[in-house]
Amino acid sequence: MCGRYVQVSTVETIEKRFNVDGGQLELHPQFNVSPGNFAPIILDKDKHQITIGQFGFSPSWAKKRMFLFNARSEGDANKENDPDYTGGKGIISKPAFRNSIRHKRCLIIADAFIEGSSNEKLNKPYLVYLRNQQRPFAFAGIYEEWVDPSSAEIIPTFSIITTVTNSLLAKIPHHRSPVILNKKHERLWLNTETPLTDITRLLQPYPSEKMNAYPISSAIKNPSAEGRELIEAIGERLEPEESITFTKHNKLFGMGHSPGRERRNEEDKKNNLN
């Protein structure tokens, strides 16, 4: 499952990366996007605009908000979450999702996501990111414009599509992974003329060698918790990466930190002491 993710990119960064217009939109860093939160997405019907939607899908026929934050690509199949599953994509026949997978697809903009072990869940969380500073990226998403019957308010609601795990997430260990789209497939995903068979072919786990993860504090499990400290590394990465030495020790840099920024912070501290 993928029920938490990180979205910290600025409007300008998102505009440049996805070739969209943010208008007068203002975004604040979100280090713990949880079901019910509002976050930026790109809809198939407004491919060149940033839209704000609510995380947690509600079918159009739902009388109450349902907050379905994940949609299984296999539908009711592969209940054992076999990572080698190659069968049908049952999402196309699920009542809640069968219309949206055909006609209401979106890009969900993210910089990283949070995953816990299958047994301990967010009591033992990891921040998962794409290597080589590949952010922001896009989850494959579906949406529905749910109408609140009490107020007639139209709310764009969205869900992240999930698939089988890859070898990196299996080390957490976690049995599912969100579908992250290759950049060259993003416009294909948003094109409502794309054949459904081509769409379902995209519902694959992201290559594990292009990802990495590190453990973070269990404070992230509180959906109201916020702040950069939530995603600071508290241990080693699952896979080794080239490290940079500043003094006598190697440092772990969490999301949003850079070696240059750390050096500047140290220099600022010294200047303030003088």
Separation of alpha carbons 209 and 188, rounded Å: 24
- Whether 2 is a known active-site residue: answer yes
Check 74, 106, 115, 186 and give the catalytic one.
115
C-alpha separations of 157 from 43, 137, 146, 231, 253 in Å: 11, 19, 7, 26, 33
Query: Using CA atoms, how far apart are residues 31 and 5, in angstroms rounded to an integer?
Result: 7
Helix, strand, or coil (residue 64): coil
Which of 2, 106, 186, 232 is catalytic? The answer is 2
106 in active site: no
First-last CA distance in the chain? 50
| Residue matched to tokens 């299984």 | 72
Question: In 3-state terms, what secondary structure has residue 136?
Answer: coil
**Which residues are identified as catalytic?**
2, 115
